Structure 1
Amino acid sequence: METGLAGSYFDGTTSRAHRVTLAVRDGAVHLEGDVERSTPLWEMRVAERIARAPRKLTFPDEATFEADDQAALDTLLHATGHRDSMVVRAQQSWRGTLVALCVTSCMLVLGYLFVLPAGADLLAHNLPVAVERQMGKGTLALLDRHVFSPSRLPAARRGELAARFARLVPPGTADGLAGGPAPDWQLVFRKSRIGPNAFALPSGHIVMTDEMVELLGDDGAVMATLAHELGHLHGRHLTRRLIQGSIVGAASLLISGDASSLVAGLPALALDLHYSRDAEREADDYAVALLERNGLPLAHMEKVFSALQGLQEEGIQVPAYLSSHPDTAERLARVRQHGRYKQ
């Protein structure tokens, strides 16, 4: 078989285009014109088809040939038995591209919703406590600079609340909870610029705002709130979310190549995460088990939810970046209806 095809030859060392005619015969590629050479057909490489860009034939020494008539080149390649790979053919098909896009999107969504949380949970529960504490280091200092001011509660009042919480016996596996003993914690009080709240940090700090103590107006409700936050520490919930966020950030780094944005965004990431409903339920279960273990009425926990629900009904919303109490009405109903919560 012999087919002549006019085009340009580039030797790979200069930008000069040599005019040649390419022919295929006896299992070899032959060039005639400004350059004459012959190369076995099997040593040639065919570039993938990319939109309207000219398709090239590459010789073993990286010299290339560009045909003037790309359609004629396709015909020649077909005649020699060349077939594009399945991937290349799919890239040229809008249907194949659409299918690939749908499959990729589904995999990303499923990975984000199921694989990522499961992996983060496994990693968080196997992470050394020292590493977890290091992850949370500096977050409280950041909050003190931008959100909080020193507590105005009397020192005696703060000490009384901390001592009462320290006397409570933490629940264990006998109370139907998975995991090890209660985590180490340190209770700190702060005056807040954003209203009532309480939350736990991976550093082991449980932050209780003056406004939250004032809103609850009941030491038992304060204990229930602290028990809930201890449940978040026990479940390493914020650590899980930080790991998830870091993985997403690392994926963005692979795409964008900008490491500075990932590093600079970690403190903000710690403030921008709320817990999932499952995490909230786990923390609620921990708090209920702690109250029951210490003979405290569950009415204290209901009072916490009722107080937060009252804020929402009044249109007073705790900012999302520090909100650890979403779905208050649902959680209150769950506490009241759940069989194990009988007093």
Structure 2
Amino acid sequence: MRATADIDARLFDGQSSRPRPVTLTIDGDTVELRDRDGDTPAEQLPRGALDWQEPLGGGHRSAMLPGGRRCEFATGAALDRFLRACGHRETAVTRWQRSALFAFAALLLVLAGLIAAYRWLLPAAAEGLAALVPEHSLQALDRELLASLHTSEVLAPSRLSSATVDGMTRLGRGLLASHPGTSLHIRSAPNIGANAFALPGGSIVLTDGLLELADDGREVAAVISHELGHAQARHGLRQLLQASIVAVTIGLWSGDFDSVLTLAGTVLVGASYSRAFEYEADALAADHLTRAGLPPSTLASILARLATAGGGDGPRYLSSHPPTPERIRRLRAMDASGQRESDG
């Protein structure tokens, strides 16, 4: 039995941008091409003259004809019948595209790719870019960020006594003396409570709430050392780059900080560092404290106390510096290891 079917299409003749309405009828091995307006005589073509193109979506399918002409068909039942009558077999790619299982698998693959890029590729790219940003650009960014945080009233001048501020400032200068470009800033920040954070250029901010919570200057020194660790490893910059890698990179290299200041302030003040970042900052802090004649367990002590704070400002600091029991255990182990080495 000879297969027959017909279908309407639009013919692009390669000479005019306007398509012509046509009808194609297949009867066995012959395809008849008729102009629906009746202005052009019918044309007989061998069935194999239709070169079917892969579907590209949009509800249409195309076939190339001799002479560089192209016929465009609407997808649907009529086209399916015509293709069967032509004896056309879809490629594996086309069959997969029409498969719900393929669509679901493709969606899962895309999601897996996005997760992998976010988990591994983006951090690696941010780390590489962070190492390339010059120090003078970071220090200029710090100045802009501090001004922006004051303008937005996130930070304000410290309300502590001048004696306390002067004492903590001297303490900070002593710890930071061997690290050019770093600086300590003590500020009031009622909205973020007891907190501390490091800006990309090495500016370390301690809030009044944290100084009021600390038992003594040793614990303040421990927090400063930890934030110095974040600054040395450029954790804040890497986190900022991950948050908006394109916008921040362009802003840093062009010197146009206006486009990134709002984002940067939000990311850096409210940063929730990864466990790996915290471990690295803790290790650097332990080294700084040891050089200053203080045990690493000083940092563990204030973290443990903050972790058990039942209210007030304590948890504000922990939200950006999660004091996991493992971190505390590691710091105390560093202390014990250092003690054994000194005894040996």
| TM-score (ref. length: structure 1) | 0.76
How far apart, in 2, do the equivalents of 1:342 and 1:192 lie? 38
Look up the match of 1:167. Answer: 174
How far apart, in 2, do the equivalents of 1:291 and 1:341 lie? 11
Residue identity in the other structure for 1:73:
F
Q: How far does the alpha carbon of each residue in 1:159-180 deviate from its partner, in whole angstroms, 9 at most, with x for none?
A: 332223322377xxxxxxxxxx
Q: How far does the alpha carbon of each residue in 1:313-333 deviate from its partner, in whole angstroms, 9 at most, with x for none?
A: 34755448x943213543223
How far apart, in 1, do the equivalents of 2:261 and 2:156 lie? 26
Match of 1:128 among 115, 125, 134: 134
Query: Structure 1 residues 206, 104: closer, same or farther in 2, change over 3 A?
Result: same
Match of 1:70 among 79, 98, 106: 79
Look up the match of 2:333. Answer: 337
1:102-141 alignment to 2 at 5 Å? 102-141=108-147
Look up the match of 2:23. Answer: 20
Residue identity in the other structure for 1:207:
V
How far apart, in 2, do the equivalents of 1:192 and 1:18 lie? 72
- The Cα of 1:209 is off from its aligned counterpart by 1.1
Look up the match of 1:150. Answer: 157
Q: How far does the alpha carbon of each residue in 1:84-104 deviate from its partner, in whole angstroms, 9 at most, with x for none?
A: 3x4332211122222222222
1:210 and 2:208 aligned: yes
Look up the match of 1:31. Answer: 33
Contact 2:239–2:267 (CA<8 Å) still a contact in 1?
Answer: no
- The Cα of 1:272 is off from its aligned counterpart by 3.9
- The Cα of 1:242 is off from its aligned counterpart by 0.9
Residue identity in the other structure for 1:203:
G
Residue identity in the other structure for 1:104:
V
Residue identity in the other structure for 1:210:
D
1:286-297 alignment to 2 at 5 Å? 286-297=284-295
Match of 2:106 among 83, 96, 100: 100
Report the secondary structure of 1:273's partner residue.
Answer: coil
Match of 1:278 among 269, 273, 276: 276
Residue identity in the other structure for 1:301:
L
Query: Structure 1 residues 122, 183: closer, same or farther in 2, change over 3 A?
Result: farther
- The Cα of 1:150 is off from its aligned counterpart by 1.1
Where structure 1 has 5 or more consecutive residues not aligned to the other structure, the ranges are: 171-180, 251-260
Match of 1:220 among 214, 218, 221: 218
Look up the match of 1:325. Answer: 321
Q: Which stretch of the first structure deviates more once superposed, 205-214 or 289-298?
A: 289-298
Report the secondary structure of 1:228's partner residue.
Answer: helix
- The Cα of 1:183 is off from its aligned counterpart by 5.4
Report the secondary structure of 2:107's partner residue.
Answer: helix
Contact 1:237–1:279 (CA<8 Å) still a contact in 2?
Answer: yes
Q: Which stretch of the first structure deviates more once superposed, 297-306 or 101-110?
A: 297-306
1:190 and 2:191 aligned: no
Look up the match of 1:178. Answer: none
Report the secondary structure of 2:194's partner residue.
Answer: coil
Report the secondary structure of 2:308's partner residue.
Answer: helix
Where structure 2 has 5 or more consecutive residues not aligned to the other structure, the ranges are: 249-258
How far apart, in 1, do the equivalents of 2:28 and 2:305 lie? 88
Contact 2:200–2:236 (CA<8 Å) still a contact in 1?
Answer: yes
- The Cα of 1:307 is off from its aligned counterpart by 3.1
Contact 1:196–1:209 (CA<8 Å) still a contact in 2?
Answer: yes
Contact 1:10–1:65 (CA<8 Å) still a contact in 2?
Answer: no
Query: Structure 1 residues 65, 216: closer, same or farther in 2, change over 3 A?
Result: closer
Contact 1:189–1:210 (CA<8 Å) still a contact in 2?
Answer: yes
Q: Which stretch of the first structure deviates more once superposed, 203-212 or 225-234?
A: 203-212
Contact 1:117–1:244 (CA<8 Å) still a contact in 2?
Answer: yes
Query: Structure 1 residues 262, 184: closer, same or farther in 2, change over 3 A?
Result: closer
- The Cα of 1:240 is off from its aligned counterpart by 0.8
Q: How far does the alpha carbon of each residue in 1:185-209 deviate from its partner, in whole angstroms, 9 at most, with x for none?
A: 1111111213211111113211011
Query: Structure 1 residues 276, 21: closer, same or farther in 2, change over 3 A?
Result: closer
Contact 2:286–2:295 (CA<8 Å) still a contact in 1?
Answer: no
Residue identity in the other structure for 1:342:
Q
- The Cα of 1:24 is off from its aligned counterpart by 8.4
Query: Structure 1 residues 199, 78: closer, same or farther in 2, change over 3 A?
Result: same
Q: How far does the alpha carbon of each residue in 1:112-157 deviate from its partner, in whole angstroms, 9 at most, with x for none?
A: 2222222222222233223334554533233222322210233443
Residue identity in the other structure for 1:90:
W
Report the secondary structure of 1:146's partner residue.
Answer: coil
Query: Structure 1 residues 93, 248: closer, same or farther in 2, change over 3 A?
Result: farther
Aligned length: 316
| TM-score (ref. length: structure 2) | 0.75
Q: Which stretch of the first structure deviates more once superposed, 136-145 or 276-285?
A: 136-145
1:201 and 2:199 aligned: yes
Residue identity in the other structure for 2:333:
Q
Q: Which stretch of the first structure deviates more once superposed, 155-164 or 113-122?
A: 155-164
Q: How far does the alpha carbon of each residue in 1:42-82 deviate from its partner, in whole angstroms, 9 at most, with x for none?
A: 6845351759x353435535553558822222214534xx5
Query: Structure 1 residues 270, 88: closer, same or farther in 2, change over 3 A?
Result: farther
Report the secondary structure of 1:161's partner residue.
Answer: helix
